[in-house]
Structure formats: C-alpha cells, structure tokens
Amino acid sequence: MSKLTHVARVLLGLSFLVFGLNGFLHFFTPPAPMGDALTVFTGLNAAGYLFPVMFGFMTLSGVMLLAGRCVPLALAFMAPVLINIVGFHLAVDPGGVAIGGFLTVLEIFLAWSYRDAFKGMLAAKHTPAV
C-alpha cells in the first residue's frame, strides 16, 4: 500500500471517528446552525433515529479505516454520509463545503485505490449463489 493511501485512510478514519464519537459524547460543540440550516437540523433531529444511526456508521467506519480492516465496506458506509454533508453545505450552508469537499476527495481517492474490491458491486448483472 502506498504511503499516500495510508495517509488518506488515516485522515478519513480519524475524521469520521472523531465526528462520529462527538455525536454521542459531545466533547466539542460545533457552531450552532442558523436560518435554513437550523430548519434542516430541527427536522432531521425530530425523526429521532437519523442522527444516532449516522453517528454510529461514522464511528464504525472510522474504526474500520484506522484498523485497516474491511476498508471497502467502510468506504461504502461513508459515501452516503459524505454525499449528504456536501449536499447540505452546497444547498444550505456554503461555509462548510471545504471540509466536506476535502473528505470527499479522500473518499474518492481511497475508492479508486481499492477499486478492485468494488468490481462485483458495480457489475450490471449478478446471479445468486443459491
């Protein structure tokens, strides 16, 4: 594994682990959302299940990346989270799009580095094993 792949995996893993754990432990307080961002967060929080599930997948994915285990699965878990982070910032709060963009670049780089693991998932047609 190249050093760049290792660095990207650790950076992305640490980011997701820290922000995922923060969703449960609240060891740092992010800036309070305002305006449309507050409306979005209030609605998502009202669902009750979404944030715990998201923070759980973020934490699990971060641990998997840092351990170097099941990396393609961790990347698959992270993809929808990153899509929503970037989409939220593009649509509602452009100030945070740089961090989401940077994490997305790391995700894409790692997905490319592990591209052989995704070949089966991306095949147009499969036959069941049973």
Specify if 130 maps to a domain.
no
Specify if 127 maps to a domain.
no
Specify if 57 maps to a domain.
yes
How many domains, the chain?
1
Specify if 61 maps to a domain.
yes
Specify if 129 maps to a domain.
no
Torsion sign over Cα 101, 15, 81, 121: positive
Torsion sign over Cα 88, 92, 94, 96: negative
Q: pLDDT category, 31, cuts 50, 70, 90?
A: confident
Question: What is the average pLDDT across 29-34?
Answer: 86
pLDDT at 126 over 90: no
Specify if 42 maps to a domain.
yes
Query: Do the beta carbons of residue 24 and residue 59 sit within 8 Å?
Result: yes
pLDDT tens per residue across span 72-125 = 999 999 999 999 999 999 999 998 899 999 999 999 999 999 999 998 888 898
Question: Considering the entire predicted model, what is its pTM?
Answer: 0.90
pLDDT at 1 over 70: no
What the block records as the tokens of 20 is 């995922």
